[in-house]
Amino acid sequence: MVTTKHASPQYASGLIPAFEKIIRREGILAFWRGNLTSLLHRFPYSGINFFVFEKLKGRATGGDDSQASSSLRLACGAFAGSTACLACYPLDLIRTRMTAQVTYAVCHS
């Protein structure tokens, strides 16, 4: 992003300077910001996805998995993934905002 402000952010010139800048400004824990919310998001997302997929596939085949064609599995998977995304979107939004949030450590000299 381009800014016209005089106090525009100074970007690091490489990987090591970027790590140093993050540690200096936000501390070492900044590398794991949003990790807990990511875990809290992943478990219900996966559970909903698997549950909906198995229920839809079971209803469509009458419980006989050998009757499930590739296109049926694709449709069930697409619907299950969409359902899981809709159900877990608020957690995903929180995780993304926490990860992208910039905080500055206050250094008193």
- Angle subtended by helix axes 70-100 and 35-61, to nearest 10: 160
- Could you tell me if residue 4 is inside a domain? no
Q: In this structure, is residue 11 part of a structural domain? A: no
The residue type of 87 is A
Task: Calculate mean pLDDT across residues 19-33.
Answer: 86
CA distance 92 to 64: 35
Scanning 1-109, the segments in alpha helix (DSSP H) are 15-26, 35-61, 70-100
pTM of the model: 0.61
Residue 84's domain comprises 34-100
Residue 20 lies inside a defined structural domain of this protein: no
**Residue 75 domain-assigned?**
yes
On whether residue 56 sits in a domain, the answer given is yes
pLDDT digits (tens, 9 = 90+) for 31-65: 887 788 778 888 999 999 999 999 999 998 988 88
